[in-house]
Amino acid sequence: MKIIMLGAPGAGKGTQAEMICEKYNLPHVSTGDIFRANIKNGTDLGKEAKQYMDKGQLVPDELTVRILLDRVAKEDCKNGYVLDGFPRTIPQAEVLDQELTKLGDKVDFAINVDVPDENIINRMGGRRACVTCGATYHVQFAPPAKEGICDKCGSKLILRDDDKPETVKNRLDVYHKQTQPLIEYYSKKGVLKEVDGTVSMNEVFESIVSILK
């Protein structure tokens, strides 16, 4: 089972990816993690990627896909994997499909966790992070015992810049321009499945499990 997770930033697709991986014993493949691992281990692919990253440039799609295919060729991916954070654009999806086709492989499911922008802005605007230990809370869904204070270490909780409404709106604009077209792309390929991301985390997961059965 090769699964791609789609959805806007803050839609909860990362959480769902982890839950899918746990239930089906599949590796959670995040491009960010792969880059970091290759660079840390000093692989040839890692060195190549680092040259771009050191200059503040985006790693080219072709190299990103090569690094990704190197990861999914490993033994733990033989029964499938969940891709999180890739592809982000149509060209990336096309390169991935071409390379998988060469291997006699394909994407089985592209699951879109659908959440309206308004919900995401409210959801992310309610997040609070501890300045000391990094623990995260939500004023509505997971509040601390004492308002503004971390349960774990007693430090102050803050609204991170990433979660401020203006930042979230900018991230959503980028998502709509670059990543949302993937929904139509995978729909045309007949592998798109959509779930309502506005319900509880467990209800979203139940919908995904019923799709994967």
* Contact of 108 with 4, CB cutoff 8 Å: no
Q: Exposed/middle/buried for 68, CB within 10 Å: 0-12, 13-18, 19+?
A: buried
Task: List, in order of start, the domains of the chain with CATH numbers.
Answer: 2-26+79-212 (3.40.50.300)
In 3D, which of 118, 136, 93, 110 has the Cα closest to residue 172?
118
Q: Supply the pLDDT for residue 162.
A: 86
Q: Supply the pLDDT for residue 55.
A: 87
Interior/surface letters 158-183, b for 16+ CB within 10 angstroms, e for the rest: eeeeebeeeebeebbeebeeebbebb
Q: Supply the pLDDT for residue 85.
A: 85
Cα angle 108, 114, 115; round to 5: 155
pLDDT < 50: residue spans in the chain: none
Q: What does the block give as tokens for 138?
A: 């939500």
The span from the CA of 48 to the CA of 62, in Å, is 12
Q: Supply the pLDDT for residue 53.
A: 87
Q: Supply the pLDDT for residue 56.
A: 84
Q: Supply the pLDDT for residue 71.
A: 93
Active site residues: 13, 88, 127, 160, 171
User: How do beta strands 136-138 and 127-130 pair?
Assistant: antiparallel
| Whether the predicted model's global pTM rises above the 0.75 cut | yes
DSSP designation for 156 = B
- pLDDT, tens only, 143-179: 999 999 999 999 999 999 989 999 999 999 989 999 9
* Contact of 105 with 77, CB cutoff 8 Å: no
Distance (Å) of CA 160 to CA 124, 137, 157: 10, 12, 9
